[in-house]
């Protein structure tokens, strides 16, 4: 049993990130009324520290400052200290991240903000070193300066807080400042041109370094390729996905992507693995497989989901949040290799072949060690060593398996095992979509188990009978009022699950969540959804989430859900609400596509004539399966798919299934678009021809 010299209030929390700080000498509070009451009673400013468990620099600041007795003493003497897990409280994070960006011009984690006892921000930054370093002031100097200002110039501090809060209010509601604009495909064309100008044509991706995967941008490019039939957007996607999957940002042994690359060439990752990155990338890779037919992309999608099943899935079916970048106190230690280690496992000759393929050298490619990345094609390696392709493939496959098994004996990075509804919705969508495309019973079962877990554990009913969600689950306990992204992402995942199973209960649940979104999050005056519900804790502002960042915004995903529900249910109110928001955002989407890529995909759907595909026939029949697989073999981003065993079993709530008889007693496909239906067909070839036609 570990004995700790300090224990603070965070010991009573469930967040792994907060629990990591439970034995700091800092007198931490969790976010809540107790902390603010203490600040009021003691007339002290609040020191708000926000981070997350897989954040490398959060760990650094903890070790350097929060575990330092002298620095902790300064914090406890002059401040009420609050620690927040940004993944549990995205509302708090969003407000104060906006504030720190206004103050400093940049943001990131760890975030360090100083607030009045009423929660108004007046000063802050991100990481502070323990002494003046990296061009940043030392944390003790910052603490002393803020404490002195609070005591000596309180009126000035209050004025700064009021001014910053006014700026936050002005910037919060983007749509309030916009007029309705005409939505045309020109918006999409201009957005593509903007992304093209930022594209790295040598290595793929956008910009130089650090370089992030940006799956929402890639999905928009795939859609623009499907719309325009132009080769360039698809080439941009392929370049990026190919280089990423061969680089160090991808775990060549265990599957799954790290958070981002610190360099331009995708070699050195920031080693944490996030559930949300891998969920979105699995979808992007399987869509690229549909668009190109290249099995390379399919293989990456499968490996991502296999990694999630192995490492990131709870026995109950929930998906964990993240794996840390560090193990044994060092970033990346779990993932890197020396030539001697590889030789000891594979033997001299096989280690040479393996090393030539995966860039393992004596000098190393990162801090004297080797991050595995693919540097040569297998035929080149085979020729270099005088081997056949089969022999080379055997050495590489066997080597990967043996190194993976050996790596499993190492101390693994910390696992953030909290389960977030929103991020689970993203991964639910990924498993369901890949299951449908590949007709995978394994992936479908994982999706079903996850949806059942979320329905059972994360849903509740309020006093009015409305369906409500909880945000987070850990150790058998679900808590915290859910946010817009929880409702929108889960609803999106359920729509994907419906199209993978055609079980009507999932469509019903998605509709009920959408009803709650309107009841508790919709802004009737300006359109769009607030990030927090109308009965949420009162904060210094009620934020709206518009930007598509590492995760898509709640509004973007909600728009997508509304547009698909409009077709699935025949209820135009869904489309009308989505159109209202898109019209307000039109010019912004065009000017800033990098920040609104998922929203641009919703706009692409809105401006298209989506295909409405109904498959009638016994789901277990081979002929029905053939028709379904024909649909899913194509990249058709703007479509919905429904299925029933026959006209007598079709749910009346799905008008696309009404009056759809079997043709000649055979499973039959109906393809409609823009209020017009094509001739019913019973063969894969005929269906394929209809799906490829306009």
**Biggest CA pair distance of the chain:** 88
Report the distance separating Cα 240 and Cα 235, nearest Å. Answer: 9
Give the pLDDT band of residue 2 (cuts 50, 70, 90).
low
Concatenated DSSP letters of 149-189? HHHH-HHHHHHHHHHHHHHHHHHH-GGGG-------HHHHH
- Residue 600: asked if its preceding bond is cis (omega within 30°), the reply is no
Q: How many CA atoms lie within 13 A of 591 on its CB side?
A: 4
Helix (H) or strand (E) holding 114: strand 111-115
Helix 484-501 to helix 441-457 angle (10° resolution) is: 140
Helix 215-228 to helix 231-246 angle (10° resolution) is: 150
Q: What is the pLDDT of residue 484?
A: 98
Is residue 176 scored above 80 in pLDDT?
Answer: no
* pLDDT tens-place string over residues 612-634: 999 999 999 999 999 999 999 99
Is residue 558 scored above 90 in pLDDT?
Answer: yes
* pLDDT tens-place string over residues 186-232: 999 999 999 999 999 999 999 999 999 999 999 999 999 999 999 99
SS3 489: helix
Is residue 169 scored above 90 in pLDDT?
Answer: no
**How confident is the model over 634-659, as a mean pLDDT?**
92
Concatenated DSSP letters of 183-240? --HHHHHHHHHHHHHHB-TTT-SBSSSSB---HHHHHHHHHHHHHH--HHHHHHHHHH
Q: What is the pLDDT of residue 647?
A: 79
* pLDDT tens-place string over residues 309-335: 999 999 999 999 999 988 888 889 999
Q: What mean pLDDT, rounded, does the chain reach? A: 94
Following CA atoms 96, 97, 98, 100 in sequence, which dihedral angle do they give, to the nearest 10 degrees? 90
* pLDDT tens-place string over residues 16-28: 999 999 999 999 9
Q: Which of 347, 357, 426 is nearest to 87 (CA)?
A: 426
Q: What is the pLDDT of residue 253?
A: 98
Q: What percent of the chain lies above the pLDDT cut of 70?
A: 98
- Residues 109/554, Cβ–Cβ less than 8 Å: no
* pLDDT tens-place string over residues 153-168: 988 888 888 888 888 8
Q: What is the pLDDT of residue 326?
A: 86
Q: What phi, psi does 113 have (nearest 5°)? A: -125, 145
Q: Which of 583, 572, 685, 566 is nearest to 630 (CA)?
A: 685
- DSSP character for 682? -
Q: CATH number of the domain at 609-694, please?
A: 3.40.30.10
Is residue 172 scored above 90 in pLDDT?
Answer: no
Start-to-end Cα distance in the chain: 68
Report the distance separating Cα 689 and Cα 694, nearest Å. Answer: 10
Report the distance separating Cα 145 and Cα 518, nearest Å. Answer: 46
Is residue 1 scored above 50 in pLDDT?
Answer: no
Residue count of the chain, please give it.
694
> Where does CATH 3.40.30.10 sit in the chain?
9-172, 609-694
- Residue 396: asked if its preceding bond is cis (omega within 30°), the reply is no
**How confident is the model over 507-522, as a mean pLDDT?**
97
Q: What phi, psi does 355 have (nearest 5°)? A: -65, -35
SS3 463: coil
Is residue 569 scored above 80 in pLDDT?
Answer: yes
- CA 157, 163, 164 angle in degrees (round to 5)? 90
Q: Which of 116-125, 173-182, 297-306 has the lowest mean pLDDT?
A: 173-182
Report the distance separating Cα 584 and Cα 660, nearest Å. Answer: 38
**How confident is the model over 595-604, as a mean pLDDT?**
95
pTM: 0.94
Q: Which CATH superfamily is domain 9-172 in?
A: Glutaredoxin (3.40.30.10)
Q: What is the pLDDT of residue 178?
A: 55
Q: What is the pLDDT of residue 166?
A: 85
**How confident is the model over 275-301, as a mean pLDDT?**
98
Q: What is the pLDDT of residue 603?
A: 96
**How confident is the model over 662-677, as a mean pLDDT?**
91
Is residue 177 scored above 60 in pLDDT?
Answer: no
């Amino acid at each position: 049993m570990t004995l700790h010299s300090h224990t603070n209030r965070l010991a009573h929390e469930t967040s792994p990130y907060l629990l990591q700080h439970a034995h700091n000498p800092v007198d931490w509070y969790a976010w809540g009324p107790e902390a603010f009451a203490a600040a009021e009673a003691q007339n002290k400013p609040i020191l708000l520290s926000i981070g997350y468990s897989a954040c490398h620099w959060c760990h650094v600041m903890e070790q350097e400052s929060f575990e330092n007795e002298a620095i902790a003493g300064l914090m406890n003497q002059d401040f009420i200290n609050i620690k927040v897990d940004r993944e549990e409280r995205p509302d708090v994070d969003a407000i104060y991240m906006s504030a720190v960006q206004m103050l400093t011009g940049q943001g990131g984690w760890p975030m360090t903000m100083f607030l009045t006892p009423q929660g108004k921000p007046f000063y802050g930054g991100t990481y502070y070193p323990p002494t003046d370093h990296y061009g940043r002031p030392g944390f003790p100097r910052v603490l002393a300066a803020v404490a002195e200002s609070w005591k000596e110039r309180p009126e000035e501090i209050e004025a700064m807080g009021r001014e910053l809060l006014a700026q936050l209010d002005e910037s919060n509601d983007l749509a309030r400042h916009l007029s309705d604009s005409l939505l045309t495909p020109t918006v999409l064309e201009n957005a593509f041109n903007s992304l093209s100008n930022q594209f790295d044509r040598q290595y793929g991706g956008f910009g130089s370094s650090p370089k992030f995967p940006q799956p929402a941008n890639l999905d928009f490019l795939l859609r623009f390729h499907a719309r325009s039939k132009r080769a360039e957007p698809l080439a941009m996607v392929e370049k990026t996905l190919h280089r990423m999957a061969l680089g160090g940002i991808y775990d060549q042994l265990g599957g799954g992507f790290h958070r981002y690359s610190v360099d331009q060439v995708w070699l050195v990752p920031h080693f944490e693995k996030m559930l949300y990155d891998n969920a979105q990338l699995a979808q992007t890779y399987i869509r690229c497989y549909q668009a190109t037919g290249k099995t390379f992309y399919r293989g990456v999608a499968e490996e991502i989901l296999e990694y999630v099943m192995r490492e990131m899935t709870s026995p109950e079916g929930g998906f964990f949040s993240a794996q840390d970048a560090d193990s044994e106190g060092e970033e990346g230690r779990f993932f890197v290799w020396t030539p001697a280690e590889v030789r000891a496992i594979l033997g001299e000759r096989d280690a040479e072949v393996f090393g030539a393929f995966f860039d393992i050298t004596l000098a190393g490619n990162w801090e004297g060690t080797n991050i595995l990345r693919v540097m040569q094609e297998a035929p080149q390696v085979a020729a270099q060593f005088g081997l056949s392709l089969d022999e080379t493939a055997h050495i590489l496959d066997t080597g990967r398996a043996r190194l993976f098994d050996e790596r499993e004996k190492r101390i693994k990075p910390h696992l953030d095992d909290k389960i977030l509804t929103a991020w689970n919705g993203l991964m639910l969508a990924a498993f369901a979509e890949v299951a449908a495309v590949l007709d995978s019973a394994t992936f479908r079962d994982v999706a079903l188990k996850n949806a059942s877990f979320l329905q059972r554990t994360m849903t509740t009913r309020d006093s009015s009978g409305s369906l409500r969600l909880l945000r987070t689950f850990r150790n058998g306990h679900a808590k915290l009022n859910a946010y817009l992204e929880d409702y929108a992402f889960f609803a999106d995942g359920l729509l994907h699950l419906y199209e993978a199973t055609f079980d009507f209960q999932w469509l019903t649940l998605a509709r009920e969540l959408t009803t709650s979104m309107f009841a508790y999050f919709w802004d009737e005056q300006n359109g769009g959804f607030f990030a927090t519900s109308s009965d949420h804790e009162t904060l210094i502002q009620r934020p709206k989430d518009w930007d598509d960042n590492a995760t898509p915004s709640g509004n973007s995903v909600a728009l997508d859900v509304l547009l698909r529900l409009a077709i699935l249910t025949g209820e135009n109110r869904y489309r009308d609400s989505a159109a209202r928001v898109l019209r307000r955002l039109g010019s912004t989407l065009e000017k800033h596509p990098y920040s609104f890529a998922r929203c641009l995909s919703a706009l692409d759907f809105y401006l298209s004539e989506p295909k409405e595909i109904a498959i009638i026939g016994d789901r277990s029949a081979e002929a029905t399966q053939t028709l379904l697989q024909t649909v899913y073999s194509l990249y058709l981003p703007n479509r919905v798919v429904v299925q029933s065993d026959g006209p007598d079993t079709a749910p009346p709530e799905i008008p696309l299934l009404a009056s759809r008889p079997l043709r000649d007693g055979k499973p039959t496909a109906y393809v409609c678009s823009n209020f017009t239906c094509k001739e019913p067909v019973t063969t894969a070839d005929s269906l394929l021809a209809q799906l490829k036609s306009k």
